[in-house]
Amino acid sequence: MSAPQQRLELAPGCIWWPGYLDRAAQETLLAEVEAALVEAPLFTPRMPRTGQPFSVRMSNFGPLGWVSDEAGYRYQSFHPDTRKPWPAMPALLEAAWRALSGAAAPAEAALINWYDPGAKMGLHQDRDEQDLTAPVLSLSLGDTALFRYGGTERRTPTKSIRLASGDALVLAGPSRLAFHGIDRILTGTSTLLGRPGRFNLTLRRVSPP
């Protein structure tokens, strides 16, 4: 893992580190993700009540994992299909959390989002955690994503940046509940995966420390 060359504050508490993970660290983390997905395969979450499938597929690292289905959004300790515990959090993710989050307690969940070239994620807030004082940290692997972010109210004007492979981004403090989403994936912008698409790893503290 290389020391971040830049620390850009996009809004109060919304911090972007372009190129935080060097190529070697990206390859190491990708191998960890691919091994985890053998144990805990990607699943397709569904919207509460309607059951409409997400365009993004997911899995998790850590003692807790985020899931969504007709019963609602929630964290649980096991994969919804295999019913087995989630794979352990990789040391590289734990180190990134310690270095960038500023949180005293460790992350409990690392959501693995897989974006096919046509996948996207609408504007939303991360607010299913019991502890909303802890930040959210994301790391990108693969093709660049057009990331859109705004304020804590949906009507607040939004801005966009391009999150490339190896980039890190934190939502903390005034931006912890900022609306954010992925508008599209820019295929062909990375050679890391050997195929089009993007992994996003989102680390969260779920319960109060």
**Domain boundaries along the sequence of the chain:** 8-204
Residue 39's pLDDT is 97
State pLDDT tens for residues 121-137: 999 999 999 989 999 99
Q: Check if the beta carbon of residue 164 is closer than 8 Å to that of residue 16.
A: no
Residue 18's pLDDT band, with cuts at 50, 70 and 90, is: very high
User: 39: how many CB neighbours lie within 10 A of its CB?
Assistant: 14
Residue 49's pLDDT is 86
Q: Check if the beta carbon of residue 151 is closer than 8 Å to that of residue 2.
A: no
User: Phi and psi (nearest 5°) for 93?
Assistant: -70, -40
State pLDDT tens for residues 164-180: 999 999 999 999 999 99
User: Phi and psi (nearest 5°) for 148?
Assistant: -115, 135
State pLDDT tens for residues 101-124: 999 999 999 999 999 999 999 999
Work out the mean pLDDT of the chain and round it to a whole number: 95
Alpha carbons 140 and 162: distance in angstroms, whole number: 11
Q: Check if the beta carbon of residue 174 is closer than 8 Å to that of residue 12.
A: yes
CATH number for the domain running over 8-204: 2.60.120.590
Residue owning tokens 């693995």: 112
State pLDDT tens for residues 52-84: 999 999 999 999 999 999 999 999 999 999 999
Q: Check if the beta carbon of residue 202 is closer than 8 Å to that of residue 54.
A: no
Q: HSE of 136 in the Cβ direction (CA atoms, 13 Å)?
A: 21
Question: Is residue 88 predicted with pLDDT exceeding 80?
Answer: yes
Nearest CA-CA partner of 112 in 91, 81, 140, 131: 140
Residue 3's pLDDT is 47
Q: Check if the beta carbon of residue 141 is closer than 8 Å to that of residue 164.
A: no
